[in-house]
Chains A and B, each alone.
Chain A
Amino acid sequence: MKPPRQDSPGARHAEPARAVAPGTTLTDSELDGLRAQVEQARGILADAVAKLSGSFSTMETETKVQKDMMHALLDSLSRDGEADDGKQPPGKTKINIREFTIETGAFLTQFTDLLASVSQQSIRTVYRIDDMVDQLDAVFSLINSINGIADETFILAVNASIEAARTKDVNTQSGHSFSVIASNIRELSKKTRRFNDQIGTQIGQARTTVNEVREIIAAMASRDLNVALSGKERIELMMKELAGFQQFMTGNVDRASVATSRIAEATSQAVTALQFEDILNQLLVSVRQRAERIAAEGGEPPTSASPFGRTTVNGPVQQHNMNPGKVELF
């Protein structure tokens, strides 16, 4: 008989059984070997099962954490604007793409309305400025009329001077007086002309200022809309894509959540399956007890030609596989 192998307990355990053939008996040393191997098998089994149990338990815990995270993510992704009833705990931010999209849309509408409104006000102002320029032009033409009158007055004064010189030949005194009056009239016409020129200069300056104002408003009113409005269009497109992304995320997180649930279920089944340790343990104990009985009775098994067979009448375990629910401990 070979000495017990330490490294591979699996298939080698059959060796002590093969050694017990009908008509033979177990020696003390063989019995000791058998006991040791059975104990070794039980030890290895217990160790392996403990480790597996630990691993599965960790998997179960971590799967639960994962599942909670998935639920939280799914919850925050699928929450929409009207579902917000103020129950959000303070300080906790939430991803609400739908609400974000709605608010951005409202902001963009306000932006375009503002742009249109500014354009309208600018044009309205420019029209008023045009009116003002027309009015200034009217004042200009009035000044020109006054200048015409001043020129006529001047000619009148010159004519009067000539008449005064003629009168002087007839009547010296009255001719002199007439001459002085004509001279005064000429001075007045010159003064009128001077004031008119000053008014004209002032109005010309006012016109320049008004034109500068018009240029400023023109620059404000003349905006190229392609940049501003295509920006709006791009943002709207991005919002649409963002909404699609949310849907994509929600779908995937949902699927991941289902997968996590399945992993949890499988882990739970694996933990149940680990009860095979009990069954194998009992079988191994039974093997040892039978060997001891054979040794005590001189080699003849009392009821069966094959004492280690699976179909032993008094076997401790009826189990042939590890299907859950069929574990029967006698």
Chain B
Amino acid sequence: MPQPISKTAVRDQGGTNQVRTSSFGSCLTIHVEGRFDFNCHQQFRRAYEGSGISPTEYIVDLRSTEYIDSAALGMLLVLRESAGSATVRITNSRPAVRKILQIANFNTLFSID
């Protein structure tokens, strides 16, 4: 089993959210912990722009995400735009978060599982 080639964690000043990344080959996984809101926009952007690789797949792992707001939707859409032909998957979302993604019709834009 391949080991993560990189692992970074940045905690913001408020301490309510944290974005971590891990990558396996050409797949970059972004973990968002706590509140996925406007406050983590810089961390979220750095997570994929500063990865130094060109992934063919992005996975946004929301298993530790408690809350998302419209800014999070915007960040996901900008990630999708920036990803170009690479696929973006949203995984492990909790029921409350998943409900928001579904009502916002994100299941037509991303693969959500």
The chain A residues found within 8 Å of chain B, CB to CB, are 109, 112-113, 115-116, 118-124, 126-127, 130, 218, 221-226, 229-230, 232-233
- Flag B64-99 by CB within 8 Å of A: 1 or 0 each: 000011110111011001000000000000000001
B74 pairs with A109, CB closer than 8 A: no
Cβ contacts B15-44/A at 8 Å (1 or 0 each): 000000000000000000000011001100
| B1 close to chain A: CB less than 8 A | no
B10 on the A face (CB < 8 A): no
Contact call A233/B71, Cβ cutoff below 8 A: no
User: When the two chains form their complex, are residues B77 and A123 in contact, meaning their CB atoms are under 8 A apart?
Assistant: yes
- Establish whether residues B78 and A120, one from each chain, have CB atoms under 8 Å apart when the complex forms: yes
A113–B77 Cα gap in the complex (Å)? Answer: 11
Could you pull out 9 A-B pairs where Cβ atoms are within 8 angstroms?
A112-B104, A115-B70, A126-B38, A127-B78, A130-B42, A221-B70, A222-B37, A225-B70, A225-B73
User: B105–A222 contact, CB under 8 A?
Assistant: no
- In the complex, how many angstroms separate the beta carbon of A234 from the nearest chain B beta carbon? 11
A219: nearest chain-B partner, CB-CB: B38
Is B103 within 8 A of A232, CB to CB?
yes
* Complex CA–CA separation, A90 to B92 (angstroms): 54
Q: Is there an interface contact between B100 and A120, defined as CB atoms closer than 8 Å?
A: no
CB distance from B97 to the nearest CB of A (A): 10
- Chain A contact residues: over half helix, strand or loop, or mixed? helix
Q: How far is the CB of A26 from chain B (nearest CB, A)?
A: 98
A220 vs chain B, min Cβ distance (A): 9
Find chain B residues with CB under 8 A from A229 CB: 99-100, 103-104
**Contact assessment for A116 and B104 in the assembled complex, using a CB-CB cutoff below 8 Å:** yes
Contact flag A126-B41 (CB < 8 Å), given A221-B70, A225-B100: yes
Residue of B nearest to A122 (CB): B74
Interface assignment of B63: CB less than 8 Å from any CB of chain A:
no
A119 to B78, CA, bound (A): 9
> Min CB distance, A237 to chain B, in Å?
12
Is there contact, CB below 8 Å, between A120 and B74?
Answer: yes
Q: Is the CB of A109 within 8 A of B45?
A: no
Question: Cα distance A118–B70 when bound, in Å?
Answer: 9
- Contacting A233 at CB < 8 Å: which of B69, B103, B105? B103
A116 to B68, CA, bound (A): 13
Q: Are A116 and B100 in contact (CB under 8 A)?
A: no
Give the Cβ gap from A76 to chain B, nearest Cβ, in Å.
32
Flag if B74 contacts A123 (CB, 8 Å): yes
Residues in A whose Cβ lies below 8 Å from that of B68: 225
Are the CB atoms of B71 and A119 closer together than 8 Å? Answer: yes
The 8 closest A-B pairs by CB, nearest first: A119-B74, A123-B74, A223-B70, A120-B77, A222-B38, A229-B103, A119-B70, A221-B71
Most A Cβ at <10 Å: residue of B41, B42, B70, B71 = B70
What is the distance, in angstroms, from B81's C-beta to the closest C-beta of chain A? Answer: 8
Identity of the chain A residue whose Cβ is nearest the Cβ of B68 in the assembled complex = A225
On chain A, the residues within 8 Å of B42 by CB distance are 130
Chain A residues whose CB sits within 8 angstroms of the CB of B103 once the complex forms: 112, 225, 229-230, 232-233
A109 touches B75 (CB 8 A): no
Docked-complex contact A221 and B104, CB < 8 angstroms = no
Q: Which residues of A contact B41 (CB under 8 A)?
A: 123, 126-127
Q: How far is the CB of A235 from chain B (nearest CB, A)?
A: 11
Residues of A close to B75: CB separation below 8 A: 123
Give, as a whole number of angstroms, the nearest-CB distance from A28 to chain B.
101
A222–B37 CA distance with the chains assembled, in angstroms:
7
Are A223 and B69 in contact (CB-based, < 8 A)? yes
Contact: A222 with B104, CB < 8 Å?
no
Give, as a whole number of angstroms, the nearest-CB distance from A193 to chain B: 34
Give the distance in Å from the alpha carbon of A126 to the alpha carbon of B39 in the complex.
11
Name the distance in Å between A212's Cβ and chain B's nearest Cβ: 15
A49 to B100, CA, bound (A): 73
**A123 cross-chain contacts in B, Cβ below 8 A:** 41, 71, 74-75, 77-78
